[in-house]
Amino acid sequence: MNIQLNDNSLLKNQAYIDGHWVDGDSGSTFEVLNPATGEVLANVSSVGVTETKRAITAAQVAMESWKALDAKARSQVLEQWHQLILDNQEDLAILMTAEQGKPLAESRGEVLYGASFLKWFAEEGKRVYGDVLPSSNDRRSIVIKQPVGVVGAITPWNFPNAMITRKAGPALAVGCAIVLKPAAETPLSALALADLAERAGVPAGLFSVLPSRSAAEVGGEMTSNPTVKKVTFTGSTAVGKLLMKQCADTVKRTSMELGGNAPVIIFDDADLDKAVAGALASKYRNAGQTCICANRLLVQEGIYDAFVEKFSAAVQQFHMGNGLENGVNLGPIITEKAVADIHQKVEAAIEDGATVVTGGKVSELGPHFYEPTVITNATPDMRLFKEEIFGPVAPVFKFSTEQEAISLANNTEFGLASYIYTQDIGRIWRVSEGVDYGMVGVNETAISSEIIPFGGVKESGQGREGSKYGLDDYLETKYICMGGI
């Protein structure tokens, strides 16, 4: 492999099934590329249906003794896994930047963020309470919570570490086993996590990792196998809908964290500097490739020109390049196809009358780099308004009234994150309650952490990850009636 770590044993190129590092049955592999340089980082084993079946069977067996342990004993294993991730933060960050592209500082941050879910759920898992219901003459009724069963998880490439721990943490904490298919673009971070899980004492079979070039095969087995009781997915809305349909045949529970189309609503009375800083951080984090990235900047007419001027000046200060190099704070786009898609949206907007203030083209740095872009005269009929851009392109739309801002914000099938900038307390409440989103950042765009319920409404998904609510997705509610009393 073409990466040097302090601990090279974290570099794995095989699947991890039932506690063993194995090649796929067919012997086939796929390439993992560094998006900044195009170099091949590794050839990773590709698994299919039969290996997925094996992992699911092993998960069921492993779960039997895992769920019978005291919550405290499970918690101690998760605490250990958390600590090992912290101990290996730099290696995990280097690996992540190499395969995903985000600047090293962002990768370091994601590793801490990812680890925080294990710590949080190690603690929360000890507090799964039931209920005693009001009693009647001849009976007593109680409610207990039990692990939902074997979990199938499918995760994306934009957060190669945290999207895994956010699912594995609560699943393992309450006594489930989890079978994971990471994105084919970023399997190395997932496999390194599996290595650390093994070192932490996570028993064989409880956490298997299935890298694959054929997502549909692995996903098909996960969603149809009757042993799997729940499927949790983070990714595109199109694939999420497909998985939900596939899960219907065996009536599996699902958690879906899908696409977004986040508005940042900036009112005339906003603190301009804070609004610029917040929009900038939200839009360009991970080069615009997160589902809660600002997708539409909605700016009130009185502050529009001043905002565009300050925002564009700040955008021109980005230092784009290979995320492993010092000083780089904007990385590459994951694939050339994604770059082409971003550029098509920009070109379509220009055809429809938008103005490019800065950027607007593929960078001279190479085919994976897109210049940080600001677009004005953007209107709601443009693709940039309707679709998730997933790149470093900020279209700025103008509005006049509060009601118009709420309508524009809600004029989308998505409903994940939204942000508002205003100093008016009444407006904060009206707009927060008026927008159809799972999350609202008020004068703040850095809204994610392990303690908050992350998730969306409408076609952005269902279920919540993180926080005390994040356990519910991995628990069943059982009612027990004790009669004849």
The residues annotated with a catalytic role in the active site are 257
What does the radius of gyration of the chain's CA atoms come to, in whole angstroms? 23
Q: Count interface residues toward ligand ADP (CB under 6 A).
A: 13
Smallest separation, CB 455 to ligand ADP (Å): 16
Tell which one of 5, 71, 112, 184 touches ligand ADP (CB under 6 A).
Answer: 184
What is the rounded CA–CA span in Å between residue 119 and residue 96? 21
32 three-class SS = strand
What is the rounded CA–CA span in Å between residue 141 and residue 479? 7
What is the rounded CA–CA span in Å between residue 57 and residue 50? 11
With contacts defined by CB under 6 A, name the span among 111-119, 215-223, 274-282, 409-417 that binds ligand ADP: 215-223
Residue 216 interacts with ligand ADP (CB under 6 A): yes or no: yes
With contacts defined by CB under 6 A, name the span among 96-104, 148-156, 349-357, 393-401 that binds ligand ADP: 148-156
Residue 156 interacts with ligand ADP (CB under 6 A): yes or no: yes
Residue 219 interacts with ligand ADP (CB under 6 A): yes or no: yes
Alpha-carbon distances, residue 180 vs 128, 164, 184, 185, 205 (angstroms): 24, 8, 12, 15, 11
With contacts defined by CB under 6 A, name the span among 63-71, 213-221, 391-399, 433-441 that binds ligand ADP: 213-221
What is the rounded CA–CA span in Å between residue 396 and residue 26? 50
Which residues, 362 to 401, sit near ligand ADP by CB under 6 A?
A: none
What is the rounded CA–CA span in Å between residue 384 and residue 397? 10
Tell which one of 80, 155, 255, 467 touches ligand ADP (CB under 6 A).
Answer: 155
Residue 236 interacts with ligand ADP (CB under 6 A): yes or no: yes
Measured from the CB atom, is 216 or 451 closer to ligand ADP? 216
Smallest separation, CB 175 to ligand ADP (Å): 25
Smallest separation, CB 388 to ligand ADP (Å): 9
Residue 242 interacts with ligand ADP (CB under 6 A): yes or no: yes
What is the rounded CA–CA span in Å between residue 79 and residue 122? 6
Residue 183 interacts with ligand ADP (CB under 6 A): yes or no: yes
Smallest separation, CB 256 to ligand ADP (Å): 11
Phi/psi at 382 (nearest 5 deg)? -80, 155
For the record, the structure tokens of 434 come out as 């008026």
Measured from the CB atom, is 154 or 333 closer to ligand ADP? 154
247 three-class SS = helix
Smallest separation, CB 466 to ligand ADP (Å): 19
The DSSP line for 384-443 is HHHS---SSEEEEEEE-SHHHHHHHHHSSS--SEEEEE-S-HHHHHHHHHHS--SEEEES
Place of tokens 């098509």: 344
Residue 457 interacts with ligand ADP (CB under 6 A): yes or no: no
Measured from the CB atom, is 248 or 480 closer to ligand ADP? 248
Asked whether the beta carbons of 89 and 126 are under 8 A apart, the reply is no
Measured from the CB atom, is 235 or 463 closer to ligand ADP? 235
Smallest separation, CB 470 to ligand ADP (Å): 20
Residue 154 interacts with ligand ADP (CB under 6 A): yes or no: yes
Phi/psi at 333 (nearest 5 deg)? -95, 150
Residue 76 interacts with ligand ADP (CB under 6 A): yes or no: no
Nearest residue to ligand ADP on Cβ basis: 219
Question: Residues with Cβ < 8 Å from 242, sequence gap 6 or more?
Answer: none
**Interface positions with ligand ADP (CB under 6 A):** 154-156, 181, 183-184, 215-216, 219, 235-236, 239, 242
